[in-house]
Amino acid sequence: DTGVSQDPRHKITKRGQNVTFRCDPISEHNRLYWYRQTLGQGPEFLTYFQNEAQLEKSRLLSDRFSAERPKGSFSTLEIQRTEQGDSAMYLCASSFSRGQPQHFGDGTRLSIL
């Protein structure tokens, strides 16, 4: 078990471009979560999956954001037409079930020029 892995670790892009991040959860974990973390703040919930089903989306997740988990394993988070305010650390976490501890990846740091 190698833990939760995220790719890339860093992404620098120009405003208006699209970006896609990948998360590979711990293999036996059914739940997968995406969070956004800005400097000096705790993680803010974006969305989560139970297997391949996306069960909840935060109001923070605007129409420019989309997440998928097509086979119930890895997940992708896409941001279209990036804006300056999208600059943040995007964290992925997985857990075995509801209420169980979440295990986090090291995150993808997005910088918008």
d(CA 68, CA 32): 10
Please report, as residue ranges, which positions from 53 to 112 form the binding site for other proteins (by CB under 8 A): 55-56, 58, 91, 93, 95, 98-99, 101-107
3-state secondary structure of 86: helix
Q: Does 7 bind other proteins (CB under 8 A)?
A: no
Q: Which is nearer to other proteins, 40 or 70 (CB)?
A: 40
d(CA 76, CA 17): 16
Mark the segment that binds other proteins (CB under 8 A) among 11-19, 44-52, 63-71, 78-86.
44-52
Of 4, 19, 67, 79, which one interacts with other proteins (CB under 8 A)?
4
Judged by phi (left if over 0) then psi (alpha if -120 to 50, else beta), residue 64 lies in: alpha
Asked if 7 and 108 count as a contact pair (C-beta separation under 8 A), the reply is: yes
Residues that bind other proteins (CB under 8 A): 4, 6, 31, 33, 40-45, 48, 55-56, 58, 91, 93, 95, 98-99, 101-107
